[in-house]
Each structure stands twice: as C-alpha cells, then as structure tokens.
Structure 1
Amino acid sequence: MAARDTLSRRGFLYSAAFAVGGVMLNACSGSGDTPGRDSGTTKAPTGKAAKGSEPKPLPPPAKLNEAPSLAELVKAGDLPPVAERLPEHPYVIPHRWATTGKYGGSMRLVSESTDGWDMKEYMYGHSPLRWLNDGLDLGPGLAESWESNEDASEWTFHFRAGLKWSDGEPWTTEDIMFWWEDMVLNEEYAEGIPDEARSGTGSIAKLAAPDDLTLVMTFDAPAPMVPDMIANWVNRGIAASWMEPKHYMKQFHPKYNKSVPENWAEIFDAKRNATTNPESPTMTGWLLKSRREGRSATFERNPYYWVVDKEGNQLPYVDTLNFGVVDNPETMKLQIQNGQFDYVHGAFAGLNLGDVSGIKATQSKNQLDMILWDSGSGTGSIFFFSQDYEDPKMRKLIRMKEFRQALSLAYNRAEVRKSIYFNTGDLTTGGYGPKTREFHRGDGMAVYKQWRDSWVDYDPDRAEAMLDEIGVVDKDGDGKREMPDGTKLVVRLEYPADADPSGEHMQKNNILKKSWDAIGIDTRLSPVSPEALDDQWAQGKLMSKTAWETSTLTFGADLLWLMPMEPSRWAPLQGQFYSVRGTPVEKQQLDVDPYKRTPPRMEPEEGGPIEQLWDLADRARVEPDAVARDGMFWDMVKIHVEEGPFFLGAVANFPRVELVKQGLRNVPTREQTALGGLVNDWHHPTPAAYDPEAWYWENPAGTS
C-alpha cells in the first residue's frame, strides 16, 4: 500500500500544509444518525453550495446500557451513571451489518510500530465528521450537524451536548480553540495549517467558538470541500489533531505555565500522544492502560465513550485491546500462522496475496477466517519518472509524452497481475482508484475507465515504433537504444535499498526491467539509501521512484497525484514551486538556477500541462457547485490521458487480506460493505471506519 510516513504529526502537518492550495446508503442503516450533507453530496447540486441537513439526530435510546465492569463501578460509587457519562444525543453506529453484541473479553492485535502509529488507525473517536459507506457518504461524528453559507465561505459545526473526555472532564470547543490558537498559530510550536483550514485560494481560515458547542470557520473565498477534509484520517492521530484536552495539556504549554523547560514542545508532543502516554485523555473507545516499549501495549474501555449501538448499549463491547509489537515481517507471519492474534489488518502486517496459501494451510492452528476487502488502489506498485530530473537531456526526454506513452505500452502489466496480484484487480495505466468518491456520481465511472485504459494495452511493437519516431533508436548496433543525439540512454529504477527483495515493489521492478530491456531500453535496478532518498528526490537528483502507489478517496481533498503540489511526487521541483505560491518566497531567487535555489524549485512550462492542471485546480477549489467542480476534475483527468501518463500503475483495486478469529463478530465481510471495502487510502481510516468498538466475541469468556 502507499508509503505511510512515520514522521511526527507536527512534522507531517508542516509538510502537508504546503500542499494546499445519487448514491444511496447501502451499508448504513436509516436508523442511524442522519448524515449532514455538504456541497460534495452525491445528490444533484442546485448550483449553490448545498447546506448540511438540519439537525435530525435520533432521539436518545429509550434505555442506555453499559458493560458489567462499568456497572459495578457505578454501583460502588466510583463512576457516574451511564446517562451522565454520555452526551444527550450519543452517536449511534448506523451499519446495517452490525448486530447487538456481548460485552467482555479481549482482542489480540499486532503492531509493527513501537510508537503506536498503527494502533491509532483502529479508533475514529476524535473526528468531527466520519466517512460512511466506503467513503461514499459523510456522517456526523463529534459534530452532530453542520452547514455552510451560500458560497461555502463559512462553515458552522454544532457539536453534541454532554461530550466528555476519558477522564470525565467536559469536552467543549475550547479544546479546538486551544489546538488552533496555542498550537497551530503558535510559531514556536509549528503544528502546521491543515488543508481543511485553508480556503480554495490557500489562505488561512478564521476559527471562532461563539459557545461551548459551536465552531465557525470563516474563509476569504469559497472552501466547498472542508467537510470532506475534516472526515479524513484519524484526528489527533495520524494527521490534524483538531482538538487537545486543554485542561490536561495546558500545564505543558508556556502560555499557561511559565516554568516549562526550553524543550517544552518536545515534552508537549510526548504528553499529547494517547497511544504512548496513558495519562493523556482521549475521546476514543479505548484508552491506554499500560505499555512496554517495543513489546506491547494494552488498551482498556473508555467509560465516557460517546458511541452506542442501536439498542443503547455503550460501546465498545470488548474490554481490552492487547497489541503485540513485532517489527520483523517474517516473525510476524509466523506468529499469525500460529494463531497468536485475533484480528490482523493485512495492510499493517505486510500481508499480500502471496501469503494466503500459508495462512490457509495453518488455519486449523490459527483459527483465522480470511476476508478480502478491496484495496481501492489506483495503481498497485507504481513507477514514475521525475519530470524535474537534473540531467537536461534525460529531463527533456522524460517530459516527452511519446516517450512515456511508449514505455507504458511496452509494460507487461498482465505478468505483474498474474505473479504479484494473482490475477485479481484490473489492469490500469495508472490513476486514481475506482473507489474515489467523485467517480460514483454523474459521468465519473466513464471518466475513471478512460483514464484506467488510456495507455494500458501491452503492445511492444507499437512502443518500438513510437520510440523510433522520436529518434530513440539503436544507433551503434549494441542492441540498446540511445537518445536522439546518440548519447547512451539508461533508465534507472530507483528504490529504497532496504526494500523487501520478495515484496511487491521489487517483483514489479524486475518485470518492468524485463519489459523495457525487451524493447532495447537499458534498464537498471538502482538501490538508494532510505535515509537519503527523499532529499535526493526533492533536489532532482533521482530519475524515478518505484516503491509507492496511488489511492485516493476524493479528488477534492487530495489532488497530490493529479498535479505537483509538493516535492515528493512526479515533478518535485515544480511541486516545491507550487508550495510557495502566494508567499514572499515565490518572487525570490528567480535569477538563480532552479536546482540551486533554497529550496530547489522550478516554474512550470508556460502553457504546459502542469500549468493547465494548476489553473483547473485553482478554479475547482473555489467552485461551490459539485457538478461544475467535477467537470474541472474531469478536465484534469483529460490532461493525464492526453499528455500523460505521468505515473505508471499496474493493477487497480486488488484485494487486501483481513484475518478474523473464529467467533469474533461484526467485522463486515466484503459483501456487507457498500463498495467491497476500502483499505489502502489513509483518508479513509481503516479499520477505524468499520467501528471496531462494535466488534464482539460470541463467547467473551473464552478470550479473557
């Protein structure tokens, strides 16, 4: 799946801050909360920014119930009654596949991380809004309803009354304003401005909390995609925090405590991480109880969790989560086969389709049932050139669409599909995946197929003819093609030196080399130090990247693969130039060689495809009408079809392995989800979006 950075949240946001710039509810029950509707709704827009629905939450359940262990604490006077712990209108999980469960037991999970990043992906509790139905729909979260003004330049969010942190302290919009004013806007802390807090022109929003339950975001231009962005990720986890428990965190902040040490920001970071600091209050279903560095972490139920099932049972059902930390992939697979875990999210465990036979062969021992959720990937393992490669001759060739199109036609994707993805998924030129939200409205699916199929045919004869036409021929008779001026042509497939030799990326690279060698392209595998790779790429020193993928939930919230916006993708220097647009840096060092600027950055070719993509994106970002906005996105896709491919995929939407211990209930099968599942895209937090708090054991006593 896509590379998932292990940067600190603050570092992630600092980087991401530069990158600004009719479907029915299939899996969700109508008896759940009524989703607020935003301007990106699948219903036909009216030409104005659609408002969110009026607040129509379900009435509180007739009776609230709780876990027996909590009932005992209430009886002993150590905990308030459940009705006092939950908000006036608890969030009711709306999934049709969710049945009423049983309380108790523990769940054994596996983590590859000592810092708990993947543990956060099980808990969606801090999000103001939530993705439903594999990203087709938005629903409420901490915010019970939301609406915008006519041009989507002001958004108002109404939060649930009576929310409480895990320590019993009230949750209010002060916790958002603390994050915003004392962290995001605090230059000493440098939290970074998340995309959802920027207008369509990239300017920063103004946040105001007129009362404890209302947040108003005001922009200087339309910002129609704000709700989509707010639903992304697991907040206070992988990306934007969106809130911090002010009552606890202010003691570590110099504004409120003048005696904090000089390295207060480092201490602050450690204290706010609820997956490593058991004292940090949380809004998630489980809270950290104990942790052994590099070995294990145990989470117990949060008595103040604000979510219930349809019968009024406070979630979670399972008492504890026990994460075992295993950083060696082979050891992890052996432990899985031995049945040491109750649920395994294959994407986190590094499981691929090649592991299926080994797991099935040991099923009598591991007692794990296998379900296959769709990845939603747009590419599988990817290849892309750097459009800004430092060598001018090679850069000129890379920017020739005929050269890239010829290489795409020479790529034997069917062999990749057979050997790596076991003939699953769809062959693809490379693009966004079929789960992308916009593809499921209007003409979207036709646009997706056009992009997918544009240069996907395996036609080495046509590829050779195209190379001949642009002068990339074998001039010296050595069997290898040269550049048009006769100099040697070498295509390097660059990848992290620590890449798994048997993993999907290296298997794909070997097939890519074989395909291009066959048409006379001297193709070489080229390992790069993992520590140096990102810096060298951003400076234009590397020719290609080969160990990534694309997976995108929504165009509106993620244009990073569609056009250069920052320095990690297919035009790094132009992406860096985009990231400083509108700042004083944009006009600086214009007389300096782009590769020697600080940071290295390059203007796009006037009238070229990148400038066209930027112009369309600028217009789309401030367009409140979803139909008009989608049309601009389709025009961007057309540029990829005609001027691309800018990145080469192999297989889209191959399945991902999920393993479920026999007797564990409410983990949805592929058929029970709206679109077959959506695993690979981080914007759709998986498995958090499927509410693990609602999973339960048929026999809880047998797991304790």
Structure 2
Amino acid sequence: MTTRRKFLGSTAVFAAAAISTDALAQVVAGKGQFGASGLVGNLQGPTQSTVIPTSFKEAPQLAELVKAGKLPPVAQRLPAEPMVIKPLESVGKYGGTWRRAFIGPSDGENGNRIMASDKLLFWDFTGSKIVPSVAKSFDISADGRVTTLHLRKGMKWSDGAPFTADDFVFWFEDIYGNKDIVPAPIADMAAGGKAGKVVKVNETTVQFVFENPYFLFPSMIAGDTLIGGGQSVQQSSARSYGAYAPAHYLKQFLPKYSSEAEVSTKAKAAGFDTWVRHLHVKKDWQLNPEIPTLGPWRTTRPINTPTWVMERNPYYYVVDTDGAQLPYIDTIVMTLAENIEVANLRAMAGEYDLQERHMDLAKLPVILENRERGKYDVHLDLAYNGADTTLHVNMDYRADPLIGKLLGTADFRRALSMGIDREQLNETFWLGLATPGSTAPAEAMPENPGPEWRNKWSTLDIAAGNKMLDGLGLSKKDSDGYRLRPDNGKRLVIELLAVKAFMDWPKHAEMIAQHWRKIGIYGDVKESERGLAFQRMLSGDHQLFVWTNGGTELLYLYPSWALPTDVSNGAYGVEHAKWYASGGTHGTKPSDPHMVRALELFRGAAGQQEAERHKTAQEIWKIMIDQQFHIGICGQSPALMGVRLASRRLANIPGRTCIAQHCRTPGSAHPESWFYKA
C-alpha cells in the first residue's frame, strides 16, 4: 500500500506548495479520520420561529424604491404569515456582494442550491425534520391518499403577482399535462402505479390526491425530487417539474392561451425552432431574468455569460425575528472560472466569500496553509452517501451486444469491483481519510443495510476477479495480458466515461483502469465535458459513468444515482427509467430480475409507514450491492461540496452543514440569513 507520507512527498501539487507538517497534522490527527481533524464542527443552522413580528424592515435600496413610488411598502410585499427565521448567531445587517465561482452554463446547480427555499417544504439544518417553506403547513390523510398544502395568504412572485393554488393547477394541467413538454409521466406523481392529481381547494389550499396510499409524499415534496425540488431546479435545464409555475407569465408561451401559430412565430423570432424549446428557456431562472421566482435572489445577468449575477427578490416571503425582510446580502456575483484548478487558486487567494462547490479535497493541506493570507476559515462537512466516486453501470447498453451482455452479468460487474485497489485510490485522492467500499450509505443512516455490506464484493481480490472472468469464457488473452473478446478475438475494451467536476474523476478512472490490468481488462477512459457526458447518458451511449452516488443516503428522496427511476438520468439505462416512471407504458422493462425486484420494492415503499420503508430500503441496498449495479470506490468524506471556505467577514456561518442531496447544500443553512460584519 502507498503510505500517506510517500504519497504526499511524491505528488507535485503538494510539493510546490511548501506544506507544513502542522497543517497536515490537523487533517490526519487521531486515528486518521476527518472527524478528528478539528475542522469538523457540530451541525448548526438557523431555526424557524412561530412568532410573527409586528413590524417589518427592508433593505435600504428597496426603501428608496418605495419612497420613489416604484415599489409597495414592505408590509404589502410580504405574505400575511411570512416564514420567520431565527438566525444562527444574531440578526444581521443589509448590504454586500457575495463573491463566488461557477464553471460554466452547465453549473446551474451552483445557483439552484442557494435558491432552495423555493421548495414547498424543506428540511431543517440537521436534515432529519420536515419544516415549512413556501407552504406554511401540510397535513396528510389517515389513509395516506391525500396530502394538503396550506399556502401563505398574500404571498407574491418576485414581480409582485399573487402566488396561489392556481399556479399549481396551471403546472399540473398545462405544463406537466402537456405531452409536448413532458412526454412521459414521472413516478413521483404516482402511488402504486396509479397517477395522482392536483386539486385546488381555494386560493391558499392545494391537494395532491392519489388512489393508493402515499405516506412518503410529504418527504418527497421536501426532498430534492422531481415533484419537490422547487422551481429553480425543476424548471431549469429543460426540466418541467416541481409542482408549481408562474401561470401569469408562462401562459403567453403556450398554444392553449393563443394558438400554435402565434407561439411558434414568437419562438422563431427569438431564434428557436419550436415553441417548446422557447418555453424551456423562458421558464429557466438561470437564463431568463424576466421569469418570476420565489427564492431569495433572482437572476439579473444569466448563467451563459462570464458573470452570473443575482440580486435580492423584493417580494421574498422570509423575515428574521426582528422583522427584517431577508436576504441580508444584496447581490451574488458568480465569476466564471475556466476550470476547477482556477477556482481553487482564486479561493485560496481570498477572491471568494463562501465557496464549497468545486473545492478540491486533495488540495486541503494547501488550503489550510493559505488561511491567513486569504482571510478565510475552513470547515469540513462530512457526507452520508456511500461513494464519492461510483462506477454507474449502463444495464441497457445496446451499441455493442457483447459488451451489453457482459455489463448485464453480475459476475462481470463483481470482477470489475474486486479488481480495484480502493486503498490506493483513498490514499491518492482522499488523503487516506475516506471510507473505501461499496455504495452503501453511512451506518448512521436508517437505510444502511448493515456493516457487512460495506465490503461486499468491494475489496481487492485479484485472484477471485480473474477466476470469475475466466468462468465467463474470457480466458484468452493477448500478448499484453488483456482479455480477448470471444466473438471476434479482438481485445476486450470497457469504456469509462468521466467528467472533471466535483472531483477529478478522469484521474480516478485512469487509476482504476491501471488496476484492471491485473485482471486482464483494458479500461478506456473517455474524459468529457459535463453537459456532453449527460447527453451521452440520455442517449444510452455509455458503458460505465464515473460520478458520485450523492443523494442516495435517503434512497427514496434521490434514487437516480442508485436505480433507473428518473427519466432525466440515464445512468442505468434511460429506457428502463422511462419504463419505471410510466408504470410500464413507455420504455423497456429491465431484463435483470434483480433490478426488477429492486424497482418493485422501491415502488411499493411509497405506501409504507416510515419504519417499514427503512426496512424496505435496506433490502433494496442488499440487492443493489450484491448485484453491483453500481460499483462504489470511497466515500463518507467532505470531498463533494464539503470543503468549505468562508470569509472571516461573514457572520451566521455554521460550523458544519448537512451534506446531503435533500438538504440542498448549502440551502438548508439558509444563505439568505448570512451577512457581512464589515
């Protein structure tokens, strides 16, 4: 095994940085765990208060607009019952520009997460309790078939138009219900395979009604799901989900409210070949500054420019305990970084005020060394998902029948997994401090299948891997020791599609390919830009995709990196996802009975109470790990959005935040409650 000392001494990125022993010691103190570093604080965050202030305050620039008659007074802009946030440390003061990095038009999640309070319900800062958000409250019927949301009376969109139950009906009937926009239904809007519906009770009450019990539904609309992710994430990047939409604005782009000829003419005048493509851009808050939103800030300069700019929403529905309308910070300016390396260098130079996205764990010692020069603090936020790096297997690969057959064979996948030296990968890319193993969530999570499943098929065993591959009829090799295809005698090549994103996954893939030489497998690493890689996935044109399994720590709320349930994610076969989401009316049923069984269990869990759901999830995890539908490498670390640099000028910054997909990091820490001390 490569020792940590040897690794650090031989790696160029560290050699050039003159790292002190003290800085590294903070990371590797104790038993070599992140938790012993002194950089992992307690989970913290703001809380909600039920006491509504009797008077309200607003940002100075908004007060000037009120004075000039260009904006109604703050009390008229807020709902009758605004959400009240008790800040982590103290009430803040207005002003300032949050400087931050993004890496291009495909980095929309960078902003979506900051806007996460546009979700109907949310999770508290611990990630364990559902709390109000856009909806002031909810209830679910005793039989689990009806979930009722109670909206905030007088709440408004960012342009001042009323936000009501009509916006839910509009989304359900005219966006989600239009097959030109959403060709296939989503599983989130069905229970027991039966589609649900949205019903307006009155202006501030909306119901989601299902034929079968759906006790999971409140968690779904609080999670990062297609139904509950909120407008910012679910109506950007050509998605059309999220349960509500600004009817008063979007009707002008729909044929139903004029004619197909008229909206097509508008689309062509704007440079689009169809009205649907035009609509996708018009409803995308990242691209269209005119779209009304509910989040704390709104785009004023779009993401497809070198500087993505967001300014405060004057109608934001949240106040602090003193009645000050949030957010405190005026503006967010995201500056384009050419790549992750540039983003990290700028962060260490103090050019960003708070940055966790794209921060490279491998550079942690250098980041620590530069704290005083950059005037920032470093926080490590540990994730609960099983694998920061995962090989996602396309179970419906058709371009090459032999490769498709092998990828669909459990022993082939198991052999690939046992041919990986996770300890070396851990030492090289996680400073030796992650947890190697399968994709199973952390043992602290209620859906963890048991400690023995961490290493199932997920430890280095070259002899066993070779024996499995020989048993599959792949015993013949070329002069370099690589296995030959039984159909044509040529070298067997397995492609790993990788993106340099939250981690340097192409480098991970290259090391894995080197490991596979010992089991006679030639791994061909294809590095791709993120957007192009996802396009390949959606076309089914990938074999193994190297990415995280983030979000699967709560399987039901974000299953798309574990099971083919999401039509916008083709990791395991987009046709399989269409089959699942449509209840079998679209797409292709998986040929693997174990995958079918896992999907059946997953579908049935929606009607179960919480304790039973956890047991079902554990059974699903056992199937997925035994079958190695996804091959885990290392995880339960701060590698993905858990290395957090915070300017010492900022206040109300948590010592540790919840790194989980349903928490929408950093969303559950409510960035609108952060402020500049000076």
* Bin for the TM-score computed over the shorter chain: 0.7 to 0.9
* CA–CA distance in structure 1, aligned partners of residues 92 and 149 of structure 2: 32
Alignment coverage as a number of residue pairs: 609
Match of 2:600 among 615, 623, 628: 615
Secondary structure of 1:300's aligned partner: strand
Q: What's the CA shift for 1:389?
A: 4.3
* CA–CA distance in structure 1, aligned partners of residues 613 and 69 of structure 2: 56
* CA–CA distance in structure 2, aligned partners of residues 529 and 359 of structure 1: 27
Seen in structure 2, the aligned counterparts of structure 1 residues 143 and 364 have a Cα distance that, compared at 3 Å, is same
* CA–CA distance in structure 2, aligned partners of residues 452 and 168 of structure 1: 51
Q: What are the Cα deviations for residues 173-223 of structure 1, in whole angstroms up to 9, with x where unaligned?
A: 11222222222223344386454322231x332211121100011112222
1:678 matches 2:670: no
* CA–CA distance in structure 2, aligned partners of residues 260 and 481 of structure 1: 57
* CA–CA distance in structure 1, aligned partners of residues 405 and 257 of structure 2: 56
State the AA in 2 paired with 1:179.
W
* CA–CA distance in structure 2, aligned partners of residues 476 and 65 of structure 1: 75
1:668 matches 2:651: no
Match of 1:273 among 284, 289, 293: 284
Counterpart of 1:9? none
Secondary structure of 2:122's aligned partner: strand
State the AA in 2 paired with 1:102.
K
Q: Contact (CA 8 Å) 2:388, 2:547: kept in 1 or not?
A: no
Secondary structure of 1:166's aligned partner: coil
1:455 matches 2:460: no
Q: Contact (CA 8 Å) 1:126, 1:142: kept in 2 or not?
A: yes
1:287 matches 2:292: no
Match of 2:119 among 127, 130, 133: 127
Counterpart of 1:99? 90
Matches of residues 215-614 of structure 1 in structure 2 within 5 Å? Answer: 215-233=206-224, 234-239=229-234, 240-257=241-258, 259-262=262-265, 263=267, 264-290=275-301, 294-346=305-357, 350-390=358-398, 391=400, 394-431=403-440, 433-434=441-442, 440-441=445-446, 444-445=447-448, 447-467=449-469, 473=475, 479-480=481-482, 490-496=492-498, 499-500=499-500, 504-518=504-518, 520-527=519-526, 542-565=542-565, 568-570=570-572, 574-575=576-577, 577-579=579-581, 581-583=583-585, 601=588, 603-605=590-592, 608-614=593-599
Secondary structure of 2:233's aligned partner: coil
State the AA in 2 paired with 1:127.
K
Q: What's the CA shift for 1:243?
A: 2.6
State the AA in 2 paired with 1:653.
Q
Secondary structure of 1:613's aligned partner: helix
1:89 matches 2:74: no
Q: What are the Cα deviations for residues 611-631 of structure 1, in whole angstroms up to 9, with x where unaligned?
A: 32233223223x232222222
Q: Contact (CA 8 Å) 1:209, 1:215: kept in 2 or not?
A: yes
State the AA in 2 paired with 1:453.
N
Q: What are the Cα deviations for residues 467-490 of structure 1, in whole angstroms up to 9, with x where unaligned?
A: 566665467887455679996662
Q: Contact (CA 8 Å) 1:564, 1:575: kept in 2 or not?
A: yes
Q: Contact (CA 8 Å) 2:84, 2:318: kept in 1 or not?
A: yes
Q: Contact (CA 8 Å) 2:344, 2:360: kept in 1 or not?
A: no
1:66 matches 2:74: no
State the AA in 1 paired with 2:524.
L
Seen in structure 2, the aligned counterparts of structure 1 residues 538 and 312 have a Cα distance that, compared at 3 Å, is closer
Counterpart of 1:5? none
Seen in structure 2, the aligned counterparts of structure 1 residues 686 and 561 have a Cα distance that, compared at 3 Å, is closer
Q: What's the CA shift for 1:678?
A: 0.7
Return 5+ residue gaps in structure 1 as ranges: 1-24, 34-57, 586-598, 700-704
1:163 matches 2:155: yes
Q: What are the Cα deviations for residues 100-119 of structure 1, in whole angstroms up to 9, with x where unaligned?
A: 21222222222223487232
Q: What is the alpha-carbon root mean square deviation over aligned residues?
A: 3.5
State the AA in 2 paired with 1:276.
L
State the AA in 2 paired with 1:666.
N
Counterpart of 2:17? none
Seen in structure 2, the aligned counterparts of structure 1 residues 580 and 273 have a Cα distance that, compared at 3 Å, is closer
TM-score, normalised to structure 1, is 0.77
Q: What are the Cα deviations for residues 230-260 of structure 1, in whole angstroms up to 9, with x where unaligned?
A: 1234511221343333333333434334554
Secondary structure of 1:545's aligned partner: strand
Q: Contact (CA 8 Å) 1:495, 1:547: kept in 2 or not?
A: no
TM-score, normalised to structure 2, is 0.80
Q: What's the CA shift for 1:417?
A: 0.6
Seen in structure 2, the aligned counterparts of structure 1 residues 374 and 582 have a Cα distance that, compared at 3 Å, is same
Seen in structure 2, the aligned counterparts of structure 1 residues 305 and 455 have a Cα distance that, compared at 3 Å, is same
Greater shift, 363-372 or 468-477, is seen at: 468-477
Q: What's the CA shift for 1:283?
A: 1.5
Match of 1:137 among 125, 129, 150: 129
* CA–CA distance in structure 2, aligned partners of residues 101 and 339 of structure 1: 22
Q: Contact (CA 8 Å) 1:114, 1:325: kept in 2 or not?
A: no
* CA–CA distance in structure 2, aligned partners of residues 402 and 191 of structure 1: 36
Greater shift, 485-494 or 658-667, is seen at: 485-494
Q: Contact (CA 8 Å) 2:360, 2:502: kept in 1 or not?
A: no
Counterpart of 2:6? none
* CA–CA distance in structure 1, aligned partners of residues 53 and 402 of structure 2: 69
1:649 matches 2:658: no
State the AA in 2 paired with 1:658.
R
* CA–CA distance in structure 2, aligned partners of residues 501 and 300 of structure 1: 27
State the AA in 2 paired with 1:510.
E
Seen in structure 2, the aligned counterparts of structure 1 residues 305 and 194 have a Cα distance that, compared at 3 Å, is farther
**Percent identity between the aligned chains?**
27
State the AA in 2 paired with 1:506.
P
Q: Contact (CA 8 Å) 1:98, 1:694: kept in 2 or not?
A: no
